[in-house]
Chains A and B, each alone.
Chain A
Amino acid sequence: MRVLVAVKLTYDINQLKFEKDGTPLLDACPRVMGEADKCALEEAVKLKDAGKAEEVTVLTIGSSKEHQRILKDAYAMGATKAVMVKVDDPDSLSALSVARIISSYAEKTGPYDLILLGSGAGDTHSSVVGPMVASLLGVPLLANADRVSVENGSVTIVSTLEDGQYKFTSKMPAVVTVTSEANEPRIPTIRDILRSKKKPIDETTPEELGAHVSKINIESIIKYEVPRKRVKIDATDNVEEAVEKLIKALEEEGVI
């Protein structure tokens, strides 16, 4: 079985700091492999460990040293092949362009039984690249997998939707997007890290792949905002009543 995993270099959200007005300090934020992408890679490597996948190819789009680094990290986690599709300023690519590059690569070097992606990128979180790749390749999409299993030529996922958990099964080939809840990605050991630096990184370009790409020009960003709702509950006199109010407020928000 051959598996292709697409990963994106994105901001380490855990280390992102903000200005007082809410502007994220992006330049000061380290960039890493996307959290959900890493979970997608972990699922692929688990299939390899279980003897179900022979090949785990990891693809990223970009040309910087940081892109090279996340591909080495992918090798350290257990990928068998790494590919860099060289594009300057990859963050300005439209989601459709990214999907075209991934699907073109899959068509050119495939067939792949499974294409895994993170369910959304840490920065844009548009969650549309996976569906677009499935559409361009004309294969089924199984989205937002919290669990992934492969048996007898079929892939099954468990996905948490608003009203409960659903199980979806499809024949392969298929595209699966994986959430950051799916697993706890392995942490490479020193041996993995030292060995990964010697592994080759294949390079190609959208032109070589025959992928038509377009860029989005962002004229200006007016405001970064994460809307927050404040609910004040007075617990001075009656704590029990305040707790009830708090529970009700949280239930209304769908938090509990």
Chain B
Amino acid sequence: MVDFEFSEDEIRFRDSVREFAKRYIEPKWVEIDEKGRIPMDLIKRIADQGLFAIPVPEEYGGMGGTMVMTALAVEEIAYHDPAVAVAVYTLLNNGWPLALALFGQEEAKMEVLPKVASGDAFFGIASTEPQGGSDVAGNKTVAKKVGDKWVINGEKAFISGIREIQELPEGGGFFLVAKTEKPGWSHKRITDFVVLPKWNGKIREEWKPTVYEEIGRHGLSTGGFTLENFEVDDKYRIGEVNKGFYLVLQGFNIARILVAAATVGSARWALDRAKEWLRTRKLFQGRPIASFEGVSFRYAELYTMVEAARYFVYKAAWMADNIYLSKSPRFKPQDLNLPVAMAKMLGPTVTTEVYTEVLKWFGAYGYTKECNAHRGWLGTFSYTIGAEGAQNIMKYIIARDTLGSDAVRNVWAKEEE
């Protein structure tokens, strides 16, 4: 039986997030983008509202919610912060904590997750390296087992949360992807770790961070770091040795759903602003510009595409709940690849289209900073480039899972032992 309605709990939760975001995020979103940081008291407030670690089980300090609820929360936050810094900060602290809850060791989960849920620590992803992000098997960061510890050396780039980790009272860290024992192109020699450059308020000297200057979404920092003989206890290893590639891809699937939800929320904001404008802006003897088909038909196309992206987001979130939370035998983790890739391909792409059009509809006003639509445009554009997976990787996944991996070029052909 098909039912496209959210449950009563989901609607009540969405309404509560909407009210929260309207009250506490919307009045600050421009200031957040201008000043380039999310105020610490707002992060604490979001945590107190229970909006971090939503799908993480309660025994780890999480909220015991679902991925559908998490997507609803991220979409609503992005609607009220269309530059998406707050939405992305929130989604990172939901998606990657869930990945840790699913694949991590008990001791690490008990130590890290409650502090993320309380907003005292950040937990994101550190996969991308200076040579690229899409080619995870080509990563060069190496983790070597020395005695009962792991020693990690390498460099990560374009990582979210670098400044926030340093400023948060506890600190935080990453779901870090490393090559086991030696470099070389391989997806069979990858192990994942919980890496905490700042923990219990202390920054590790073996971690050398740097923060980049970006063109948009200024409220959330992006940067890079090097790890020099960074020691990690074995309890922080995520999953089995050399199985890290398969686990981080599942983490990416979870996070991609939420990235798409954030872009959809921002696009909805832009379309709602445009709707008011198209109905009330009058030209040529009092005709609202919505009366010109060149405008209204384009609005119709974009509205439809945003709705289509929303459907993909919630279908993928629903399937993720079936796989990871209710452990339904109906789906396997790899079944999630296709709906997630479609959501992540469509969400950011259509959102960029929406902003490109909305800025033009606003005319010269759209090109002013007063209009503020440019903040959403620049903020969400990041997600057409990369962030949890580039658009061409999404297309590769869709092509592979529909045309068949035998017909699509196999990028995993040359394993280096």
A184: chain B residues within 8 A (beta carbon): 23
| Residue A128 CB within 8 A of the other chain | no
Number of interchain pairs (Cβ within 8 Å): 43
Chain B residues with CB under 8 Å of A72's CB are: 12
Q: Mark B58-72, 1 if CB is under 8 A from A, else 0.
A: 100001110001000
How far, in whole Å, are A193 and B54 apart by their CA atoms in the complex? 13
- How far, in whole Å, are A189 and B65 apart by their CA atoms in the complex? 11
Binds A, one of B13-21, B126-134, B176-184: B13-21
Q: Are B13 and A187 in contact (CB under 8 A)?
A: no
A191 to B58, CA, bound (A): 9
Q: How far is the CA of A205 from the CA of B158 in the complex (A)?
A: 63
Please tell me if the beta carbons of B8 and A69 are within 8 angstroms of each other in the complex.
yes
Answer whether residue A197 sits at the interface, using C-beta atoms and an 8 A cutoff. Answer: yes
- Asked if B8 and A190 make an inter-chain contact with CB atoms under 8 angstroms apart, the answer reads no
A65 to B8, CA, bound (A): 10
A187 / chain B contacts, CB cutoff of 8 Å? 16, 19-20, 23, 49
B64/A197 in contact, CB under 8 A? no
**Complex Cα gap A187–B21 (Å):** 10
B13 adjacent to A191 (CB under 8 Å)? no
- SS class, residues of chain B in contact with chain A: helix
B12 touches A73 (CB 8 A): yes
The reply to whether A190 and B23 contact each other, CB–CB distance below 8 Å, is: no
A189 to B12, Cβ gap below 8 A? no
A contact residues around B19 at 8 Å (CB): 187
Count of chain B residues with a beta carbon within 8 Å of a chain A beta carbon? 18
Would B63 and A190 count as touching, CB distance under 8 A?
yes
Please state if A191 and B12 are interface contacts (CB–CB under 8 Å).
no
Residues of B36-76 contacting chain A, CB below 8 A: 48-51, 54, 58, 63-65, 69
Residue B9, interface by CB 8 Å = yes
Inside 8 A of A190's CB, which chain B residues have their CB? Answer: 13, 16, 50-51, 54, 63-65, 69
A189 to B73, CA, bound (A): 11
Instruction: Identify the interface centre among A65, A184, A197: most chain B CB within 10 Å of its CB.
Output: A197
B1-40 Cβ-contact flags toward A at 8 Å (1 or 0): 0000000110011001001100100000000000000000
Closest-CB distance, A30 to chain B (whole angstroms): 9
Nearest neighbor of A188 in chain B, beta-carbon distance:
B16
A194 at the interface (CB under 8 A from B): yes
Cβ B12 vs Cβ A69 within 8 A: yes
A191–B49 touching, CB < 8 Å? no
Specify which of A184, A191, A194 lies most central, judged by the most chain B CB atoms within 10 Å of its CB: A194
- A69 CB contacts on chain B under 8 angstroms: 8, 12
CA distance A184 to B20 in the complex (A): 11
Query: What chain A residues lie within 8 Å of B69 (beta carbons)?
Result: 190
Instruction: For B48, list chain A residues within 8 Å (CB).
Output: 189
Q: How far is the CA of A201 from the CA of B219 in the complex (A)?
A: 44
Chain B positions within 8 Å of A194 at CB level: 9, 63-65
Q: With CB as the reference atom, state the residue of chain A lying closest to B18.
A: A187
Q: With A69-B8, A187-B49 as given contacts, are A193 and B23 in contact (CB-CB < 8 Å)?
A: no
CB neighbours (8 Å) of A188 from chain B are: 12, 16
> What are 6 sample pairs from A and B whose C-beta atoms fall under 8 A apart?
A65-B8, A190-B13, A190-B16, A191-B63, A193-B12, A197-B8
A sample of 9 more A-B contacts (CB under 8 A), given A187-B23, A188-B12, is A187-B16, A187-B49, A189-B49, A189-B50, A190-B51, A190-B69, A193-B9, A193-B13, A194-B63
Interface residues, chain B, CB within 8 Å of chain A? Answer: 8-9, 12-13, 16, 19-20, 23, 48-51, 54, 58, 63-65, 69
Nearest 5 CB-CB pairings of A with B: A189-B50, A190-B50, A190-B63, A187-B20, A190-B65
